[in-house]
Structure 1
Amino acid sequence: MESFSPHDPDLARTLILDELFDLLLYKALRDVTQPDVHETLDELIKVETGHLAFWQKFFQLTLTRLDLGRRIKLTVMMLVCRLFGSTAVHLVLEAIEVHGVRKYLAIWREYQGQPLAEALRGILMDEFKHEDTLVTALTQRKINAEKIRNIFLGLNDGLVEILGAVSGFFGAFGSATMVLIAASTTAVAGALSMGAGAFLALNSEKEVKSTEAARKKFLGEAPGEPPMEELPLSSALVVGSAYLIGAVVPVLPVLIGATDALFSVLTAGLMVVLVSTILSFLSGMDIKRRIALNLIIITVAVGVSYGIGILAKLVWGIST
């Protein structure tokens, strides 16, 4: 094998430590899961052991201990898995798979024509075939990851939108009572709107798929995709409820006595960090980038909404 001179030592450390993290995670999960999961985890442990040995030999660098950040991440993930059981384990395995594929594809594109890109081929084949098959078999019919993502997206939408409303109402009215009434009304209307939108979208999708399935059956063609498992009414309730829960976050400080938007901004900011971290982990996105983007969004939402409220107060002479 052609040796690679690590002109980027940070990349070498990242690749090795990421594989070491995955290996230690799978070993730790094996100790807290039921026996029916052990065979899958044993296969994943075998794959990760091979990946770790490969990168250590490739970069001529041996690392046997995680850095502080990864140790904290491992501890938190194991705590979540212990608290929430098999659902959390399945989500973690799927998320690790997504992260691995995206990371290695990005590196492969960047180092095209270099020894590192060629070395990645075998790793990527494992990610695409071996681990994908194992994790998919483990999670099949046990969890709907898309629904989990929708829950957190609903939370995020309700949080950001109602935080903007609270800021605008404080700018216009100044009265906590007026803000509470207006924000609560807006939150309920928004939740109903989100739920109705989800219901109509899924109902339309279900009708389209049913029509397509009937057409293929009539023509004697292969049925294609299986029918939708998501029920429109159930999804509408999930999305609407998630939106409403997110909306409660910026309204709660006003309910317990806040007289300006500051506490709503602080509580919403903390929740945005939490939701962004979970969403990023589940979808394979860069966590820091997602958090920064969402914090920028709520900053703009607060600033613009508060400015509109002040302007409305000046133009129309709104009194408290």
Structure 2
Amino acid sequence: MQAASAYDPHLARDLILDELFDLSLYKALRGITQSDIHDTLDELIKIETAHLAFWQRFFNLNLEQLDLGRRIKLSIMTMVCRIFGSMAVHLVLEAIEVHGVRKYLAVWQAHQGKPLGEALHGILMDEFKHEDVLVTALTQRQINPEKIRNIFLGLNDGLVEILGAVSGFFGAFGSATMVLIAASTTAVAGALSMGAGAFLALNSEQEVKSTDVAKKVFLGEASDVTPMEEPPLSSALVVGSAYLLGAIVPVFPVLLGATDPRFSILTAGLMVILVSTVLSFLSGMDIKRRILLNLVIITVAVSISYGIGIVAKNYWGVAL
């Protein structure tokens, strides 16, 4: 086995602490859940205990205490599960599964043909088979990728588009009343447009799949067409509602009396961080990268929209 010193010490520390975090989380969840899922959690605890011991031996590094960031994360997740009950537990377990698989696959791809890559083979087999079966059986796939995509799409579009509109209207009109009227009507129109677009797109997809199924039935062939996971109308409502919820965030400060876009930018930025954190965690995406990307998008949208508003006011005579 290659010497532990040959590896990035940060990677070694992260792998061990991540396993320790998962183990600590499963133990904490066992203490706040009903007995019907204790057998599943006990099996997960057994697996994580073995993984933790393996990495400690592999890197010759014995870490028994979580760092501050992971302790805070553990406390928050435990509190959320305690407050929201079994649904939150299901979501957390599935999210942990997704993150674990993505993390180990990335490390394995970077160390193929090396001792660390070989060591990861057994861990990944556990993640793919044993833990996946256990967690999937428990959660019954509570995380619907389509719903996550729709919620994220709607919220993100509502935040960015209406924040840009608020900034542009302030630049052009300088009147909170005018901004409120214009932004509110734009938000409602945008929500209806997003919902209608989602409905039409999924309805078209549903019709295409139905035609393919009918064709295969007629020809006597086995159908390999997967059914739609979510009805078009339900998806449209999710997208439209999420858009409207996101749109309310930059409009709300104006409703409370804000006379410039600063408070709208602040509230929208905080909302982006919160939404990006939650949805990135649930879908297994890189949280920091997603937050940074959305903040950059908002910054660009606000700058361009406000600039257009100023140009409209000074050169095109747009004003109250």
> What TM-score comes out, normalization by structure 2 length?
0.95
Contact conserved, 1:168 with 1:306, CA < 8 A, in 2? yes
Task: Name the residue aligned to 2:218.
Answer: 218
Paired with 2:6 and 2:77, the residues of 1 have a C-alpha distance of 31
Task: Name the residue aligned to 1:127.
Answer: 127
Larger deviation, residues 74-83 vs 143-152 = 143-152
What one-letter code is carried by the residue in structure 2 that aligns with 1:197?
Answer: G
Task: Name the residue aligned to 2:94.
Answer: 94
SS in 1 for 2:246: helix
Larger deviation, residues 127-136 vs 143-152 = 143-152
What one-letter code is carried by the residue in structure 2 that aligns with 1:253?
Answer: P
Going from structure 1 to structure 2, the CA distance change for 1:18 and 1:225 (only over 3 Å counts) comes to farther
Contact conserved, 1:169 with 1:306, CA < 8 A, in 2? yes
Going from structure 1 to structure 2, the CA distance change for 1:198 and 1:303 (only over 3 Å counts) comes to same
> In the alignment, does 2:36 pair up with 1:36?
yes
Paired with 1:142 and 1:101, the residues of 2 have a C-alpha distance of 17
Paired with 2:213 and 2:44, the residues of 1 have a C-alpha distance of 37
Contact conserved, 1:272 with 1:295, CA < 8 A, in 2? yes
SS in 2 for 1:5: helix
Going from structure 1 to structure 2, the CA distance change for 1:203 and 1:172 (only over 3 Å counts) comes to same
- Structure 2 counterparts to residues 102-141 of structure 1, below 5 A: 102-140=102-140
Deviation of 1:288 after TM superposition, in Å, equals 1.3
Task: Name the residue aligned to 2:11.
Answer: 11
Larger deviation, residues 257-266 vs 3-12 = 3-12
Larger deviation, residues 254-263 vs 285-294 = 285-294
Structure 1 stretches lacking a partner, 5+ long: none
Task: Name the residue aligned to 1:192.
Answer: 192
Task: Name the residue aligned to 2:76.
Answer: 76
Deviation of 1:39 after TM superposition, in Å, equals 2.1
What one-letter code is carried by the residue in structure 1 that aligns with 2:164?
Answer: G
- Structure 2 counterparts to residues 228-247 of structure 1, below 5 A: 228-247=228-247
Across the aligned residues of Structure 1 and Structure 2, the Cα RMSD in angstroms comes to 1.6
What one-letter code is carried by the residue in structure 1 that aligns with 2:249?
Answer: V
Contact conserved, 1:6 with 1:59, CA < 8 A, in 2? no
Deviation of 1:217 after TM superposition, in Å, equals 2.6
Paired with 1:280 and 1:178, the residues of 2 have a C-alpha distance of 36
Going from structure 1 to structure 2, the CA distance change for 1:26 and 1:220 (only over 3 Å counts) comes to farther
Deviation of 1:26 after TM superposition, in Å, equals 1.0
Paired with 1:289 and 1:98, the residues of 2 have a C-alpha distance of 17
> In the alignment, does 2:309 pair up with 1:309?
yes
Larger deviation, residues 32-41 vs 257-266 = 32-41
SS in 1 for 2:174: coil
Task: Name the residue aligned to 1:167.
Answer: 167
Deviation of 1:149 after TM superposition, in Å, equals 4.4
Contact conserved, 1:91 with 1:145, CA < 8 A, in 2? no
Paired with 1:207 and 1:85, the residues of 2 have a C-alpha distance of 38
SS in 1 for 2:318: coil
Larger deviation, residues 246-255 vs 36-45 = 36-45
| Identity of matched residues, % | 80
> What TM-score comes out, normalization by structure 1 length?
0.95
SS in 2 for 1:223: coil
Contact conserved, 1:87 with 1:143, CA < 8 A, in 2? no
Paired with 1:149 and 1:81, the residues of 2 have a C-alpha distance of 23
Task: Name the residue aligned to 1:286.
Answer: 286
Paired with 2:9 and 2:141, the residues of 1 have a C-alpha distance of 42
Deviation of 1:286 after TM superposition, in Å, equals 1.6
SS in 2 for 1:32: coil
- Structure 2 counterparts to residues 244-255 of structure 1, below 5 A: 244-255=244-255
What one-letter code is carried by the residue in structure 1 that aligns with 2:51?
Answer: H
Paired with 2:13 and 2:273, the residues of 1 have a C-alpha distance of 27
Q: Aligned pairs, how many?
A: 320
Deviation of 1:142 after TM superposition, in Å, equals 4.8
Paired with 1:46 and 1:217, the residues of 2 have a C-alpha distance of 48
Structure 2 stretches lacking a partner, 5+ long: none
Going from structure 1 to structure 2, the CA distance change for 1:290 and 1:143 (only over 3 Å counts) comes to closer
Deviation of 1:315 after TM superposition, in Å, equals 2.0
Task: Name the residue aligned to 2:20.
Answer: 20
Task: Name the residue aligned to 2:274.
Answer: 274
SS in 1 for 2:31: helix
Contact conserved, 2:91 with 2:142, CA < 8 A, in 1? no
Paired with 2:308 and 2:260, the residues of 1 have a C-alpha distance of 16
What one-letter code is carried by the residue in structure 2 that aligns with 1:162?
Answer: I
